Structure 1
């Protein structure tokens, strides 16, 4: 049954106003639905969506929480940098970024933080 259902990512925000401003002013996204003052739904490509909701738990996850697919990673990274986004640099076994971008047989990826400490990324498959 679940394979036929829509999936929605869920992102926490300690300060929903600050987060909304970041998603609007930096990422260029507006909520498509406002469930209430503490729950904002953002719709992206191909029917995908994410919920941004108010909670004190924001910024505690140490993993990527949301990722956008792109066919031009370098272009997207450059565009976001021009808007003030700072990309993370990693140097772990099996993962090393150069100028904010990691390349592997699975493709390319770049990670950044939102104002709430959530780890977001862009990826490009080969």
Structure 2
């Protein structure tokens, strides 16, 4: 299989799953802080949709280690998104690693993921109410 479009999952939709120790607390965070409302809900989870892409926050006894980005949002204006989220009470992570350092919550990232067709990206990270590490990115063209 040499084509990226062959194989049993090539036509599948991808959806992120984020664990929540307290689903009601998570719902309040995603609504009140991020401004997102579920498009569907069941007793054990909430389905959200952003620009046609789904993610689920589900009730779980397990927790995320929060040591890596579990889901990211791509925005056209990172500084504006970070400023608005700070205004809503979001605390952004400070990162100080070789090649990756945040200033005022935002990092300039050399290079980029190959699929974005950009020369770089700016990024910021924060945790949701359940400790999941979420990112926000803006490709640099």
Give TM class, smaller chain: over 0.9
Whole-Å separation in 2 of the counterparts to 1:22 and 1:75: 19
Q: Following superposition of structure 1 onto structure 2, how do residues 63-82 of structure 1 map, counting pairs within 5 Å?
A: 63-82=68-87
Q: Deviations over 1:26-75 (max 9, x none)?
A: 000011011x2211110111x20101001122232411001000110000
* Alignment partners' CA distance in 1, 2:11 and 2:35: 30
Unpaired segments ≥5 residues, structure 2: 1-7, 111-119
Pairwise CA RMSD: 1.0
Q: Are 1:89 and 2:103 an aligned pair? A: no
SS of aligned partner of 2:135: strand
Structure label with greater radius of gyration = 2
TM-score by length of 2: 0.84
Which residue, out of 43, 49, 52, partners 1:43? 49
Aligned length in residues: 124
Distance 2:60 2:95 in 1: 28
Counterpart of 2:125 in structure 1 is 111
Deviation string 1:94-117 (CA, Å, 9 cap, x unpaired) is 110000000023210000000100
CA distance in 2 between counterparts of 1:79 and 1:61 reads 23
SS in 1 for 2:10: helix
Instruction: Give 2:114's aligned residue.
Output: none
1:24 matched to 2:31? The reply is yes
Q: After the TM superposition, which parts of structure 1 deviate over 4 Å for at least 4 consecutive aligned residues?
A: none
3-state DSSP class of the match of 2:46?
strand
Separation in 2, partners of 1:104, 1:62: 18
Unpaired segments of 5 or more residues in structure 1? none
Q: TM-score, normalised by structure 1?
A: 0.94
